[in-house]
Structure 1
Amino acid sequence: MEPESPSEPAVTTCYRHPKVESRVRCTRCDRYICPDCMREAAVGHQCVECVREGARSVRQARTAFGGRITTAPVVTYVLIALNVLVYLGELVSPEIVDRFSVLGAVLRGPDGGHYVWQDAYPSGFEPAGVVNGEWYRLLTGAFLHMPPTQGTFGILHIVMNMVALWNVGRVVEAQLGRSRYLALYLLSALGGSVLVLLLAPETSTVGASGAIFGVSAAYYVLARRLGADLRAVNQFMAGLLLWLVLSAAFTSWQGHLGGLLTGSAVALAFAYAPRGGRRALVQAAVCLALLALLLLLAVGKVSALKNGAA
Structure 2
Amino acid sequence: MDQAPSSPQDARSGLPSCYRHPDRETGIRCTRCERPICPDCMVDASVGFQCPDCARGTSGGREGRAATAATRPRTLAGGTVAADPRLVTKILIGICLAAFLAQKAAGAAFEERFFLLGQAYVPGLGSVQGVAEGQWYRLLTAMFLHGSYVHLLFNMLSLWWIGAPLEAALGRARYLTLFFVSGLAGSALTYLVAEPNQPSLGASGAIFGLFGATAVLMRRLNYDMRPVLALLAINLVITFYSGFNIAWQAHIGGLVAGVVVGYAMLHAPRERRALVQYGTSAVVLAVVIGMALVRTAQLT
TM-score w.r.t. the length of structure 1 is 0.70
Residues 104 and 244 (structure 1), Cα distance of their counterparts in 2 relative to 1, 3 Å cut: same
For 1:88, the aligned partner's letter is L
Residues 66 and 238 (structure 1), Cα distance of their counterparts in 2 relative to 1, 3 Å cut: same
Aligned match of 2:33? none
Contact 2:139 2:188 in 1 (8 A): yes
Q: SS where residue 66 of structure 1 aligns?
A: coil
Aligned match of 2:259? 264
In structure 1, list runs of 5 or more residues that go unmatched.
1-56, 111-123, 147-153
- Correspondent of 2:274 among 272, 280, 297: 280
Shift of 1:127: 4.2
Q: SS where residue 301 of structure 1 aligns?
A: helix
Q: SS where residue 107 of structure 1 aligns?
A: strand
Residues 247 and 128 (structure 1), Cα distance of their counterparts in 2 relative to 1, 3 Å cut: farther
Shift of 1:108: 4.2
**CA–CA distance in structure 2, aligned partners of residues 71 and 60 of structure 1:** 12
Contact 2:182 2:209 in 1 (8 A): yes
Residues 71 and 182 (structure 1), Cα distance of their counterparts in 2 relative to 1, 3 Å cut: same
Shift of 1:109: 4.7
Contact 1:67 1:180 in 2 (8 A): yes
Aligned match of 1:290? 284
Alignment RMSD (CA, Å): 1.7
The correspondence of residues 5-154 of structure 1 with structure 2, limited to 5 A, is 59-72=71-84, 73-94=86-107, 95-110=109-124, 124-146=125-147, 154=148
For 1:132, the aligned partner's letter is E
**CA–CA distance in structure 2, aligned partners of residues 293 and 193 of structure 1:** 12
Contact 2:239 2:246 in 1 (8 A): no
Aligned match of 1:176? 170
Shift of 1:257: 1.2
Contact 2:215 2:225 in 1 (8 A): no
**CA–CA distance in structure 1, aligned partners of residues 93 and 241 of structure 2:** 24
Contact 2:89 2:163 in 1 (8 A): yes
For 1:205, the aligned partner's letter is S
TM-score w.r.t. the length of structure 2 is 0.72
Contact 2:119 2:127 in 1 (8 A): no
Contact 1:247 1:253 in 2 (8 A): no
Shift of 1:101: 0.4
Contact 1:210 1:256 in 2 (8 A): yes
Shift of 1:99: 0.7
Q: SS where residue 249 of structure 1 aligns?
A: coil
Aligned match of 2:15? none
Identity of aligned residues (%): 39
For 2:217, the aligned partner's letter is L
Deviation readout 1:185-214 (Å, 9 max, x if unpaired)? 101110111111111122101111111111
- Correspondent of 2:198 among 196, 203, 214: 203
Shift of 1:223: 1.0
Shift of 1:232: 2.8
Shift of 1:70: 2.2
Q: SS where residue 68 of structure 1 aligns?
A: coil
Contact 2:100 2:145 in 1 (8 A): yes
Q: How many residue pairs end up in the alignment?
A: 229
Contact 2:215 2:228 in 1 (8 A): yes
Aligned match of 1:121? none
Aligned match of 2:182? 188
Aligned match of 1:249? 244
For 1:302, the aligned partner's letter is T
Deviation readout 1:246-282 (Å, 9 max, x if unpaired)? 4572321111111111111111111221122x11111
Whichever of the two has the greater Rg, that structure is: 1
